[in-house]
A and B are shown apart, each in its own frame.
Chain A
Amino acid sequence: MRLKILDKYLHFYNSEDSKLSIKERYLTLSRSFLMIMLLITIVPLSITTALSFFQYRALIRQETINNAQWNAESTRQGIEAFIDKLRATIQIISESYKYKDLSVQENLDRVFENLKSKNKGLVDLSVIGTDGVQQAYSGPFNLKGKDYSDSLWYQKTLARKVYVSEVFMGYRNMPHFVIAISKKVTGEDGYWVLRASIDTDTLDQFLAGVRTANLVDVFLINSKGVLQSSSHYYGNVSDQSPVVVERLPHNKSISTEENNQGTKAMVNVVGQINETPWFLVLEQYGYADKKTWVIFKRELLIIYVVSFAVIICLTFFIASFLTSTVRKAEETRESILAESEHANKLASIGRLAAGIAHEINNPLAIINEKAGLMKDLLQVSNDFKYKDKFLLQIDSMENAVKRSRAITHRLLGFARRMDVKLEPVDLNSVITEVLGFLDKEAAYQEIRVDQDLQPELPNIMSDHGQMQQIFMNIINNAIDAVGNGGIIQISTRQIDTKTVRVDICDDGPGMPPEVLKKVFEPFFTTKKGSERQGTGLGLSITYGLVKKLGGKISASSEIGVGTTFTILLPTGSVSTGGRDI
């Protein structure tokens, strides 16, 4: 499938009736190259950049989630270990001591003091009898004799044997939780309970120990979403958190979800603390706030922008280079076509000229002979009144025939096959010879001819006679152009080892561009009506001869300044195609 823009260009390019100027056409071509190259470079660059962006984002996002899960898991394990240790300690005490021994205040105080030094956060230790009334209490509060028989924690302890409570205020009027163990009284039916109260500051300290760069908040809640520890954002113990309780996991697994809070992407990890009524909630900033992600985005953007700029510059350069190459190729093609067209034109005109010359020469010969005979007869006859006048008329006729003959012979010369005879030619000598022929003409019109001929100019392989004709035509033209008192400058130079240049400048009136363009056309003349009326073939023949000899001829002119003919001739051998022109 071709690109539309290319089609657009080709349409304009091929369309003969296109109104586009050459400049606009090449501008369109340049734009087309530019668009195509931008498409085939920017699109892959953008796709690659986008792929890198999304792949790295997925990677860093997964890493962020894994990191949050790992942090939550390690925190959960820490809390579980702490609770397990306390529970095990309480259990050992309940098994090591009998109910009646621990019911003695002194014994309980001793055990409490022992425990307190080893278990941070332990507030108090108490023994509750089979009737639910506190029998002994060691701690800062005066709670001995308190009846817990209707308390929820007491009932659950009796039912479960071991119980870790939610955080509550209770008689102490401070947030705490209890670890209680019920044990059968030896020799009786009832159960006694050993209970330890732990300050929630201990849990807060655990949670405060979680150190991670992107941590936002970490706290504990119960199954109803009520805070069991302090939270940075949602308040203190017993406040309601915004966590949706329906989504809380009820096994050892942890749930993870991503959400946006304002402009921030967050990762929330929730996991249940084993054998407790608590759930650990950990909130961490998402991947978007990670330093590596920010750096990656910045570097990716820089690489993309720099690549884009480089591509734009290169594309401009390549588009302009291609356009200029195409333009040069087209100009060369057009120049070859124009030359070929010119040569064909010359050949056609040559054939036509030869035919016309032949047809005219025959009647011209008859006129010539008839006039000649009349003259002969008049000369041998006796004098009569109009003899001299008749002879004068006949001379005029003969002169007219001579002029016509000059034209027809020139036409035939134009049409004649020009065989090139190559020989070493000294251009300076040829110019001097030609000037020798034209000396009188120039002197008569007071024309100054300045010669700036390079000494030791190398000989060129060319045709001496045809070189003479070339310079004769151009210098003759210059003489006609400058008129009385004019100046003609002739210079020869070797440009390089292969080329010699001849410039013939005159200070004549110059030619406008439209005349200059046609100066080498056959039968184009500006000398109509002048004394030295031209046939319009001189420069055309010169053009053909120079081309035939492998050279180039060009003319430049400026009105009021003059005209310069420049001839470039090869020093070596030339192609002698020998075609008719």
Chain B
Amino acid sequence: MNKTRVLIVDDEEEFANTLAERLCLRGFDAFSVGNAEEAISAIKGDRVPDVALLDLKMPGLSGLDVLQMIKKLEPGIEAIMITGHGSTASGIEGMKLGLFDYLMKPVDINDLVTKINEAMRKKLQ
């Protein structure tokens, strides 16, 4: 069985890299990028993720922009927003664009793993 591939898009590289490493330790094929452009390149390349973890606020394109582009390029990718912002409005907006769920930083790794697995189950349905 293939490992669930997880893409982490966050301009906080320290956070993104560490989270990727922790997910790898939990059996995921996780990798991180620092901005929207790199995320698009990854999706267009040969490492198409199953689940994308998106930061909401990033320099340049925002997490919601990246979500729109991901859904356009690969509608099958499930996305989870991880953000330091507590805006319900952006959460609702994300849901409208096909966001799977919405988590607040700092996240509990177990909660995140559960959410990724749920997203994966949805993708496989």
Tell whether A106 is near chain B: CB-to-CB under 8 Å.
no
User: Within the assembled complex, what's the spacing in Å between the Cα atoms of A366 and B82?
Assistant: 13
Tell whether A164 is near chain B: CB-to-CB under 8 Å.
no
Q: Given A372-B22, A373-B22, A380-B25: A367 and B84 within 8 A (CB)?
A: no
User: Within the assembled complex, what's the spacing in Å between the Cα atoms of A361 and B57?
Assistant: 12
The count of chain A contact residues (Cβ–Cβ below 8 Å) is 28
Q: Given A367-B106, A405-B106: A362 and B84 within 8 A (CB)?
A: yes
User: Within the assembled complex, what's the spacing in Å between the Cα atoms of A354 and B86?
Assistant: 8
Contacts of B57 in A (CB 8 A): 358
Contacts of B109 in A (CB 8 A): 372
Q: Given A372-B109, A416-B88, A417-B88: A362 and B22 within 8 A (CB)?
A: no
Cβ A370 vs Cβ B14 within 8 A: yes
Q: Given A367-B106, A368-B106: A362 and B86 within 8 A (CB)?
A: no
CB distance from A49 to the nearest CB of B (A): 76
User: Within the assembled complex, what's the spacing in Å between the Cα atoms of A358 and B105?
Assistant: 9
The interface-forming segment of A60-68, A140-148, A288-296, A407-415 is A407-415
Contacts of A369 in B (CB 8 A): 14-15, 18-19, 22, 106
User: Within the assembled complex, what's the spacing in Å between the Cα atoms of A44 and B67?
Assistant: 84
Cβ A361 vs Cβ B22 within 8 A: no
Q: Given A365-B12, A366-B18, A369-B22: A401 and B106 within 8 A (CB)?
A: yes
- The listed residue (B21, B87, B89, B105) touching A361 by CB distance below 8 A is B105
Cβ A416 vs Cβ B87 within 8 A: yes
Contacts of B106 in A (CB 8 A): 361, 364-365, 367-369, 401, 405
Identity of the chain A residue whose Cβ is nearest the Cβ of B89 in the assembled complex: A417
Tell whether B61 is near chain A: CB-to-CB under 8 Å.
no
User: Within the assembled complex, what's the spacing in Å between the Cα atoms of A426 and B42?
Assistant: 53
Cβ A365 vs Cβ B105 within 8 A: yes
Cβ A365 vs Cβ B22 within 8 A: no
Cβ A366 vs Cβ B15 within 8 A: yes
17 A–B pairs (Cβ distance < 8 Å), ordered by A: A354-B86, A357-B86, A358-B84, A358-B86, A361-B104, A362-B105, A365-B105, A365-B107, A366-B15, A366-B18, A369-B22, A372-B109, A413-B86, A415-B86, A416-B87, A417-B89, A419-B88
